[in-house]
């Protein structure tokens, strides 16, 4: 009997130290050991995936490699009694797509501890419209809510609002009754952001203060920051008394030029968001929110669907900061 094969994007390091990506046939038996074999129906595109596909050693240490930090599909085999063949599941975060072959292949094999049961009110496709970006956005909003930021306290700022995390954060906040100011990106997407529920859209320049002022005018009750760098510094210096900001990205910079005064004079809080190693109880609770009270009515308006063959072009848009919303990847035949 012939061994079972599947299609996958494979990134290889060439002799000239450049990296190539190609759709190849792989053997299921070549996947690493794990408890659960999943037939992947959908994946999605995240910034980390685009970096991995270009040979970024900070994301992926060795090549050849199949990226894709998100996957949703159906269990085909399981040595763990918690999962049975036919179970619909989500796998995101941990080491998937970083140094473990990821969701840009039609099969993955992973530890059972990485697997989340698909909530009853979500389809596999919808779960990947959210993906890591949607999960990160929901986790950011959940942390603000649990911190105590309420809709009547003021406006919540969302940076990087045209990206995957930002656009879903805007949408969730709007559904939860918050007033939102969204920071527009390189390309003018003002109508798009207003349609998601933002009450105001400001430019990157308006959201960035490069002066050495220790504090700025208090404007925001809370913030979801996806950018880092000087924009996060500006945001923290602009929070109201007792405000809070979440931080989940560094597309602007991993440096944070800041003094202690926002913390010791206004009592603000910076909340780090680690979606990769989020504990499973909190992970499942966040997914349940996404499938329940925070489930968005306009999921289809924020996505572009592609196949493995079209994925490279979407990666190039993301790396060029011209990518909007979410890209999902259909892997089922």
Closest CA to 290 of 42, 122, 152: 122
Q: CB within 8 A of 127, min separation 6: which ones?
A: 42, 72, 90, 118, 119, 287
CA distance 126 to 20: 30
State yes or no: pLDDT of 1 exceeds 70. no
Share of residues in the chain with pLDDT > 90 (%) = 84
| Residues whose CB falls within 8 Å of the CB of residue 322, separated by 6 or more in sequence, listed in order | 186, 187
- DSSP secondary structure letter of residue 228: B
Shortest CA distance to 133 belongs to which of 160, 110, 163? 163
Instruction: Give tens-digit pLDDT for 78-122.
Output: 999 999 999 999 999 899 999 999 999 999 999 999 999 999 999
Cβ atoms of residues 183 and 161 within 8 Å: yes
For residues 259-264, give the mean pLDDT. 96
How does DSSP classify residue 323?
-
DSSP β-bridge partners for residue 12 = 20
63 contacts: CB under 8 Å, gap ≥ 6: 11, 12, 13, 19, 55
Q: Helix, strand, or coil here: 211?
A: coil
Question: What is the tens place of the pLDDT at every residue in 51-77?
Answer: 999 999 999 999 999 999 999 999 999
Query: pLDDT tens digit string along 188-234?
Result: 889 989 999 999 999 999 999 999 899 999 999 999 999 999 999 99
Q: Is the pLDDT of residue 187 over 80?
A: no
What domains can be seen in the chain, in order of their start residue? Answer: 5-118+299-330 (3.90.180.10), 133-272 (3.40.50.720)
């Amino acid at each position: 009997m012939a061994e079972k094969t599947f299609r996958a994007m494979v990134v290889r390091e060439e002799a000239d130290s450049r990296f190539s990506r190609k759709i190849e046939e792989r053997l299921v038996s070549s996947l690493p050991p794990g408890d659960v074999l999943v037939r992947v129906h959908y994946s999605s595109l995240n910034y980390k995936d685009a970096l991995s596909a270009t040979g970024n050693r900070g994301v992926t240490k060795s090549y050849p490699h199949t990226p894709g930090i998100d996957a949703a599909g159906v269990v085909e085999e399981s040595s763990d009694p918690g999962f049975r063949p036919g179970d619909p599941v989500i796998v995101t975060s941990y080491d998937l797509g970083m140094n473990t072959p990821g969701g840009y292949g039609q099969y993955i094999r992973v530890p059972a501890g990485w697997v989340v049961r698909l909530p009853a009110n979500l389809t596999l496709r919808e779960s990947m419209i959210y993906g890591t970006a949607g999960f990160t956005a929901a986790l950011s909003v959940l942390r603000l809510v649990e911190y105590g930021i309420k809709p009547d306290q003021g406006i919540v700022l969302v940076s990087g609002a045209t990206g995957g995390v930002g656009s879903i954060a805007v949408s969730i906040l709007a559904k939860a009754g918050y007033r939102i100011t969204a920071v527009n990106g390189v390309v003018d997407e003002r109508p798009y952001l207003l349609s998601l529920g933002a009450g105001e859209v400001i430019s990157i320049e308006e959201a960035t203060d490069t002066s050495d002022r220790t504090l700025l005018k208090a404007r925001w009750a809370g913030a979801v920051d996806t950018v880092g760098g000087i924009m996060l510094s500006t945001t923290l210096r602009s929070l109201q008394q007792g405000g809070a900001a979440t931080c989940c990205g560094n597309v602007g910079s991993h440096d944070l030029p800041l003094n202690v005064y926002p913390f010791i004079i206004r009592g603000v809080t910076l909340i780090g968001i680690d979606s990769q190693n989020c504990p499973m109880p909190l992970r499942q609770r966040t997914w349940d929110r996404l499938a329940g009270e925070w489930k968005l009515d306009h999921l289809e308006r924020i996505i572009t669907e592609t196949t493995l063959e079209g994925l490279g072009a979407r990666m190039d848009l993301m790396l060029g900061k011209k990518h909007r919303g979410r890209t999902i990847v259909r892997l089922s035949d």
